[in-house]
Structure 1
Amino acid sequence: MSKTANARAHQVAGGAHHRPLNREDYKTLSLSALGGTLEFYDFVVFVFFANVIGTLFFPAELPDWMRQLQTLGIFAAGYLARPLGGIIIAHYGDKIGRKKMFTLSIFLMAVPTLVIGLLPTYASIGIAAPLLLLLMRVLQGAAIGGEMPGAWVFVAEHSPAKNYGLAIGTLTSGITGGIFLGSIFAVWLNSTYSQEEIHDWAWRLPFILGGVFGLVSVYLRKFLQETPLFQDMQKRKAADAELPIKTILRDHREACWLVALMTWVLSTAIVVVILFTPAYLQKVFHILPADAMKANAVATVTLTIGCVFWGWLSDKIGTRWTMVLGWGGMTVTTYLFYLNLPGQETLVLRYALVGFFVGSISLLPVVGVRAFPVAVRFTGLSFAYNMAYAVFGGLTPMLVSVWQQVDIMAPAHYVAAMGVLGAALGFWKLACYGWQPKVAKA
C-alpha cells in the first residue's frame, strides 16, 4: 500500500494530525498500558493457582479430577461473560464517553480480584464459597471484555497518525505483559513459600496485590483526557438515538467479519503457542516442566517485543505487507519450532522466534479500530472481537486436543493455517484502507 493510502487509512482512527508523539501522548499510553497489564494479570493469575483454589473452594471428598474440572469451569465462566460485558461497556463508551468506561472496566476487574483474595473458603461458609468465586469471575470476564477494545480505541483516538501503529502495538505489548507478570509472580511465590504456606494463606497474595494495584490504576486513569475524536463527535451532534449494536449489525457486517477472522488468528496464536504448548511439550515430548516453562517465559517476552515491532512496522511500510510478513513469518517459524521437537538444545531460541512473530497479533487492533466509524467504533470492535474470542478461544483447545490424537503435529498445522489466513486478510481492502465515509452523489 502506498504511503498516501496508508496515511489516509490512519487518519480515520488517529485523526489527520502528523505531529510526533508528545508528553501527553506518552502519559496516555503509559497509563493505559499499565492498566492493561494489571487487568490482564488479574484475569490470568487465577489459572496459575487453580489447583490450590480447587482444594480450598470445593468439598474435600470430591475426586481430584472433579475439583479440577469445576475450578476450570469457573475460570471459563470469565471467558463466557466477555461478550456481554464487552457489548454493554462499549455501548456506553460510544454514548457517554471512552474515558468513563475505560475507568469502569479496570474498577470492575480490581474489586473482584481483591475480593477473591479475601474470600472465605468452603470449610468456612460451605457452598457459598464457590458461588461467590463464580460471581467474581463473571464480573472479571465482563471487565476484560470491555477493557481491551476500550484501551485500543482510547489510545488510537489519542495517537498522531504517523505513530498510530506504534501506539497500539505498545499498548498491546502491555496487555500481553500481564501474562508474563502473572507467571513470574507464580514462580516467585512457589520459590519463596512452602506448599503448606501457599495452601494456608500465601495463595491470597497475588489476588490482594493485584486488586490493590488495580484500584491505584483506577485513580491514575482520572488524569487521562477524553479522546479528541469523541469530543469532536459530541460537539458536532448529539449521540444517535439508535443503539450502536443495531447500527453495527445493519451497516458494518463486513468490518465485523474482518475483525472476527483476525480474532480467530489472534486467539489461535495465543491459546496454542503461549498457553497450550508448555503442557504439550511435557506430555508429548517429555520435556522437563522447568525447561518448558523457561522457554515459554522467553517466548512471552519476545511476544511482548513483537507487538511493538509489528505495530511500528505498519506505520513504516503499510498494513498489508506487515500482515504478510508478520503472519506469514508465524507460519514458517511455527513449523521450524514444532517439527524440530524435542530438540532441547535450541528449544528456547526456536520458541522465542515463533513468539516474536506471534506478536503480529497487535495488527488486529491496528486494523480493527479503523474498520468502524467513530460513532460506533467501541461497540463494533468490542462486539466482533469478544464474540469471536468466545467461540474460537473456547473451541481451539478442544479441537487441537482431539486432532492431536491422530497427528502430534496438530498444533503446528493449526497455527500455520491461521498464519496463512492472517496474511491473506492483508489483501482485504477494508484491512488496508479502513472505514471510509460514503460520499453522497450529486
Structure 2
Amino acid sequence: MTVTEAPPHPASTIGKRHVPDRRRLRNVVLASLLGATVEWYDFFLYATAASLVFKHVFYPDASAFVGTMLAFATFAVGFVVRPIGGVIFGHVGDRIGRKRTLAVTMVLMGAATALMGALPSAAQIGVAAPILLLVLRIVQGFALGGEWAGAVLLAVEHSPARRRGLFGSIPQIGLAAGLALGTLVFALLQMIFDDAAFQSYGWRIAFALSIVLVVIGFVVRLKVEETPEFAEVDRLAQKSSAPLKDVITPPNTRNTLLGLLARWGEGAAFNTWGVFAITYATGALHLAKVPVLVSVSIAAIVMAVLLPASGLLADRFGPKRIYLIGIAAYGLLVYPVFALFGTANLVWLTVGLVLVFGIVHALFYGAQGTLFASLFPTPVRYTGLSVVYQFSGIWASGLTPLILTALIGVDDGRPWLACAYLVATAAISVAATAAIRNRDLHL
C-alpha cells in the first residue's frame, strides 16, 4: 500500500475497536440513518418520476415506449457518473475524513434534486429541458457516488466490536426508507391533484421537499465526530497517498474484483423491484398508478423494518454467509414472482413484492455494507467501498430497467427472457461471494 511514512509508534491501534459512549452511538445511528434516507430519497425520486412523469414532461413527442426508454436512459446516466464521484469522494474521504466528505455530498444532492423540481417542461423551453434534466441527473449521480460508502463507514467504523453487522445495516435502512418516502409522497400527490395538475406542477412538490430534508440531515451530520479508525490512521500518518491505485493493485485486486461481481445481483434486484416493477405494472399490466406505488412502498417499509435483523444475523453467522444465502434466494424467486405479477392482480403483485423485495432483499442488503467494508483496510476503505459499489452500479443497477424493458420487448411482452437475465445476475453474485476468503477480510 502506498502510504506516507508513519512516525515511530510502539503499538499501532489501527483496526482495533473503540468503545464509544452511548450518546456518540446515538448520534452516529441518527446521522447514518437520516443522511442515507435523504440521499436515497433524492436519487430514487428521479426513478419514480422517470416511470410516471418525465416521459410526458420532457419527452412529449416520443411514443410511450420510446419516452420510457429515454427517461430510463437519463436514469442510467446517474449510475454512469457515480463511479467518478466514488473515486473523487473516496480519495477525499480517505485523505481528509468521512464526516466532511459526507457533508459535501449531501449539499450537492439536495441542490440538484430541488432544481429538478423547478425545471421548465419541454413544451416551455424545448430541447433545453431534457438537457438540463440530464445535467442535474449527472450532479445527482456524482454526489451519490461518495455518499453510500461514507454512510456505511460512518456507522461501521464507530460500531462496537460485536455489532459491526447491525451498525452496517443502518445506512441500508436509509435506502429502503428513502424509496418508501419517495413513492408514498408521489402516491399522496396523485391523490391530491387530478392528472393534469399533477403532470403540470404536483410532481414538483416532491422534489421541493428535498430542501427541508437536506437541511435536517446536514445539521444532524455536523454533530457526529470523525470515525475512530480514520482518526487513528490520521494520527499515525498512515494515510494512502494513492487510494485508487492501492485498491486496484495487489493485495487488494482480488477483493475488488470479487466485490464488483458480488454486487451484480443486489443492484439488479433493487432496480427491478423498486424501479422497473412500477413501469411494468402500470404499463404492461395496466394497473392503476397509486395502488402500485403503495405496493412498492409497503414492500420497502417491510424491508426497512427487517434490515436490522439482517445485521444481527450477520453478527451471529458472518455477513458473507447471510449475503450469499439472500442472493441465492432472490435468484430462486425471480420466476415465481413474475408469475404472480402476470395475474395482473394487485394483491398478488403486493405479495410478490413483499416476499422478494421486502423480505429477501432485506436479508442480503442488510449484510452488504459490513461485508464490502471488510474487503479493504482502513487507509483505502472509502475508495475501495466506493469503487465496488459505484462501478458495479453501471451494469448492475443503472442499466437494469433498460435491459428488462428491451428483453420484454423482444419477447413480445412476456417477461421470461428478462427473468433469465435476473437469475444469471444472482448466479454470478453467488459464485463471487463464495470465492471471498475469510482470511482476506479486514474487519
SS at match of 2:263: helix
Amino acid at match of 1:248: V
Residue in structure 1 matched with residue 44 of structure 2 by the alignment:
44
C-alpha displacement of 1:258: 1.7
> 2:168, 2:369 within 8 Å by CA — same for their partners in 1?
yes
2:390 to 386, 410, 427: 386
Residue in structure 1 matched with residue 255 of structure 2 by the alignment:
255
> Aligned pair 1:396/2:395, yes or no?
no
Residue in structure 1 matched with residue 17 of structure 2 by the alignment:
16
> 1:268, 1:418 within 8 Å by CA — same for their partners in 2?
yes
Instruction: Find the aligned partners of 1:313 and 1:135 in 2 and give their Cα distance.
Output: 41
Instruction: Find the aligned partners of 2:321 and 2:199 in 1 and give their Cα distance.
Output: 50
String of CA shifts for 1:292-330, please: whole Å, max 9, x gaps. Answer: 444333222222234322222010122343234323332
Amino acid at match of 1:409: W
Residue in structure 1 matched with residue 416 of structure 2 by the alignment:
409
Moved more, 384-393 or 339-348: 339-348
> Aligned pair 1:435/2:441, yes or no?
yes
What are the equivalent positions in structure 2 for 1:167-316 lying under 5 Å apart? 167-237=167-237, 239-241=239-241, 243-251=242-250, 252-281=252-281, 292-316=292-316
Distance of aligned partners of 1:319 and 1:55 in 2 relative to their CA distance in 1, 3 Å threshold: closer
> Aligned pair 1:369/2:357, yes or no?
no
SS at match of 1:81: helix
Distance of aligned partners of 1:409 and 1:69 in 2 relative to their CA distance in 1, 3 Å threshold: closer
C-alpha displacement of 1:73: 3.5
> 2:264, 2:429 within 8 Å by CA — same for their partners in 1?
no
> Aligned pair 1:348/2:350, yes or no?
yes
Amino acid at match of 1:396: T
> 1:21, 1:163 within 8 Å by CA — same for their partners in 2?
no
C-alpha displacement of 1:285: 5.5
Instruction: Find the aligned partners of 1:131 and 1:290 in 2 and give their Cα distance.
Output: 29
C-alpha displacement of 1:247: 1.3
> 1:169, 1:362 within 8 Å by CA — same for their partners in 2?
yes
Distance of aligned partners of 1:216 and 1:299 in 2 relative to their CA distance in 1, 3 Å threshold: closer
Distance of aligned partners of 1:170 and 1:289 in 2 relative to their CA distance in 1, 3 Å threshold: same
- What is the total number of aligned residue pairs between the two structures? 422
SS at match of 1:427: helix
Distance of aligned partners of 1:308 and 1:122 in 2 relative to their CA distance in 1, 3 Å threshold: same
> Aligned pair 1:358/2:361, yes or no?
yes
C-alpha displacement of 1:415: 3.5
String of CA shifts for 1:393-439, please: whole Å, max 9, x gaps. Answer: 24433443454444633344444444444444443343x444359xx
Distance of aligned partners of 1:201 and 1:228 in 2 relative to their CA distance in 1, 3 Å threshold: same
Q: Give the alignment's Cα RMSD to 1 decimal.
A: 3.0
Distance of aligned partners of 1:312 and 1:422 in 2 relative to their CA distance in 1, 3 Å threshold: farther
Residue in structure 2 matched with residue 156 of structure 1 by the alignment:
156
> 2:113, 2:207 within 8 Å by CA — same for their partners in 1?
yes
C-alpha displacement of 1:372: 0.5
> 1:94, 1:378 within 8 Å by CA — same for their partners in 2?
yes
C-alpha displacement of 1:378: 0.6
Distance of aligned partners of 1:66 and 1:250 in 2 relative to their CA distance in 1, 3 Å threshold: same
C-alpha displacement of 1:125: 5.0
Moved more, 367-376 or 65-74: 65-74
Amino acid at match of 1:358: H
Instruction: Find the aligned partners of 1:215 and 1:69 in 2 and give their Cα distance.
Output: 34
* TM-score, normalization by structure 1: 0.85
Instruction: Find the aligned partners of 2:221 and 2:255 in 1 and give their Cα distance.
Output: 30
Distance of aligned partners of 1:433 and 1:323 in 2 relative to their CA distance in 1, 3 Å threshold: farther
String of CA shifts for 1:213-244, please: whole Å, max 9, x gaps. Answer: 21332232111111111110011115343x21
Instruction: Find the aligned partners of 2:350 and 2:61 in 1 and give their Cα distance.
Output: 41
Amino acid at match of 2:17: A
Amino acid at match of 2:237: K
C-alpha displacement of 1:92: 0.6
Instruction: Find the aligned partners of 1:402 and 1:70 in 2 and give their Cα distance.
Output: 12
Instruction: Find the aligned partners of 2:46 and 2:108 in 1 and give their Cα distance.
Output: 16
* TM-score, normalization by structure 2: 0.85
Gaps of 5+ in 2: 1-12
Moved more, 369-378 or 406-415: 406-415
> 2:264, 2:426 within 8 Å by CA — same for their partners in 1?
no
Instruction: Find the aligned partners of 2:337 and 2:127 in 1 and give their Cα distance.
Output: 45
> 1:82, 1:143 within 8 Å by CA — same for their partners in 2?
yes
Distance of aligned partners of 1:191 and 1:166 in 2 relative to their CA distance in 1, 3 Å threshold: same
Amino acid at match of 1:151: A
> 1:14, 1:160 within 8 Å by CA — same for their partners in 2?
no
Amino acid at match of 1:376: V
> 2:186, 2:203 within 8 Å by CA — same for their partners in 1?
no
Instruction: Find the aligned partners of 2:273 and 2:228 in 1 and give their Cα distance.
Output: 37
Distance of aligned partners of 1:97 and 1:120 in 2 relative to their CA distance in 1, 3 Å threshold: same
